[in-house]
Amino acid sequence: MSTTISPVDDSQSSATQPRGRRFLPRLVRPVAAVLSGVLLYLSFPPRPLWWLVLPGFALLGWVLHDRRLRAGFGLGLLAGLGFMLPLLHWTGEEVGPVPWLALATAEALFVAVGCIGIAAVSRLAWWPVWAAAVWALDEAVRARVPFGGFPWGKIAFGQADSVFLPLAAVGGTPLLSFAVVLCGFGLFEAVRSLRTYRGTGRIPRAAVAAATATVLVPLAGALAARPLVDDSAEDGTATVAAIQGNVPRLGLDFNSQRRAVLDNHARRTEQLAQEVKAGKVPQPDFVLWPENSSDLDPYRNADARIVIDEAVKAINAPTVVGAVVEPDTGKLRNTLIQWDPTGGPVATYDKRHIQPFGEYMPMRSFVRIFSSDVDRVQRDFGPGKKVGVFDLAGTEVGLVTCYEAAFDDAVRDTVEHGGQLIAVPSNNATFGRSEMTYQQLAMSRVRAVEHSRSVVVPVTSGVSAIIRPDGTIVRKTKMFTPDALVDKVPLRSSLTPATRLGTLPEGLLVLIAAAGLGWVTVRSVRARRGR
């Protein structure tokens, strides 16, 4: 008796498989895309896990490599949401989830569009270089549009403790981001080359060369740039005091007790004056108050003017006061005022990069559909036009107000205009105990290395700090605790390559990305014509 074995019908076999078993393999890349975004988020402060950005981009490289453009968009959107949703959670701290979800989704869409480009160039030789340049292009666009851009989440800002940080002094945050992303994609290419060798027994020389170079060159570049990181005092030193007065309550309603906020900062300054008189701390050459330390316009409110004047006279040092100035007509001004012990207010700087949906409300009627909090902004702020540099007791201090620290040009301008030290007066009270203050502090640390300047960050209620030109924090406060930081900081006037080159490194990276995308387009057109 013979037995006949019939061939297996693959379609029938597939049909008889459990639906879940057939569906699970399709989830691998989407889940990996989300995980890659989460790893990018976890690499940001307050966690000291900067190195997670490397496996994050290695995983994203695997997710996008040789994918179709439509798949690149979908997978990129998942990665963007995995990154931006937790990173920007603080934006909904007091206004609910709608603004947070809207902003995070908008930023994730930028990431998704960038991932289309990464998927496209992943078919080219030396693809990690093209792909990292596309990411730099995506960050450049995100930092400029819409409404003046939103650079938060730039990869460079998560690298304050990184071995790659010295590259900020060479080419600014664009080069730092590019190098980190390049190294991450290079790690994936190294793994891919190893798997190819194991599968075929042949060494893919071009792929191995690309993998080796894209991992080692960024590391070697960072090592070579270390001599640029210098905290020596080229122009002597200055003793600076940063005042953190704290706020009476958390959240958006802290403004309802504007006088209490002003009194807190005046009181802590007067207490510092007593400590100086007792010999407990040195006399500061100048004092820095935070943004919004006086939301009462001292030009219109005599009692606010008196409180500030008495505090400044008590400490007997020129003081920078953050105030809301209310002109008779036109828009409000978020202003830093140079207040002299004898001459009173002698100079001002109006914040240039003002925050959309926070300091002014674009598309007011449309946004009101989603949140009634739009009407909390009853009178819009207007942007200033002049670069802020104050001469404080012989020290040229560049001024960058809070949100402006995220913008390359806002910080670079102050150094190019003679700033020997950078001050970043900020207000984090509306974001409670969220990660926002730590993310912003990391930006200031990167800026310190980028421009080789000491950076002083006085904050109303978050984490105030004094930072050396090498990015190290020498003094800092606790959150929602009145305090005064006093320290002798080195002053510097030399310019790093990053400061001198300005937007040139970013422009070159954009051109590289454009060249890669252009070459992919040409190949695609030729392939279609050849059919």
Is 115 one of the annotated active-site residues of the chain?
no
Give the pair of three-digit tokens for residue 362: 């674009």
Helix (H) or strand (E) holding 339: strand 333-340
Written as one string, the DSSP assignment of 199-266 is HHS---HHHHHHHHHHHHHHHHHHHHTGGG-----BTBEEEEEEEE---SSSSGGGGGGHHHHHHHHH
User: Are the beta carbons of 371 and 96 closer than 8 angstroms?
Assistant: yes
Q: Closest Cα partner for 510 from 258, 139, 253?
A: 139
Triad 167, 171, 175: Cα angle to 5°: 70
Q: Considering the candidates 93, 154, 351, 404, report the single residue annotated as catalytic.
A: 351
- Give the Cα separation of 63 and 27 in Å (integer): 11
Q: How many helices (H) and strands (E) does the chain have?
A: 15, 12
Question: Is 244 in contact with 477 (CB distance < 8 Å)?
Answer: yes
Is the CB of residue 90 less than 8 Å from the CB of residue 431? yes
Quick check: is 478 catalytic? no
Structure tokens at 346: 């002698």
**Residue 255: HSE in the Cβ half-sphere, 13 Å Cα cutoff:** 13
Euclidean distance between CA atoms 105 and 369, whole angstroms: 18
Q: Report whether 348 contacts 381 (CB < 8 A).
A: no
Contact between 349 and 397 (Cβ < 8 Å): no
Residue 289 CA to residue 488 CA, distance in Å, equals 17
* Structure-token match 């402006």, residue found: 404
The C-alpha torsion from 508 through 399 and 100 to 373, rounded to 10°, is -140
The CA-atom distances, in angstroms, between 333 and each of 219, 251, 262, 353, 394 are 44, 21, 17, 11, 27
> 510: which DSSP letter?
H
Q: Which of 402, 404, 450, 506 is catalytic?
A: 402
* Active-site residue, 359 included: no
Q: Which residues neighbour 177 within 8 Å (Cβ) at sequence distance 6 or greater? A: 135, 136, 139, 154, 155, 156
Which amino acid is residue 105, in one-letter code? T
Secondary structure of residue 414 in the 3-state scheme: helix
Distance from the Cα of residue 184 to its chain's centroid:
19
Q: Which of 93, 291, 435, 506 is catalytic?
A: 291
| CB 382, CB 333: distance < 8 Å | yes
User: DSSP letter at 378?
Assistant: -
Q: Beta strands of 358-437 (E only): which ranges?
A: 389-392, 395-399, 421-423
What is the amino acid identity at position 103? L
Tokens of 454: 């000491």
Catalytic (active-site) positions: 291, 351, 402
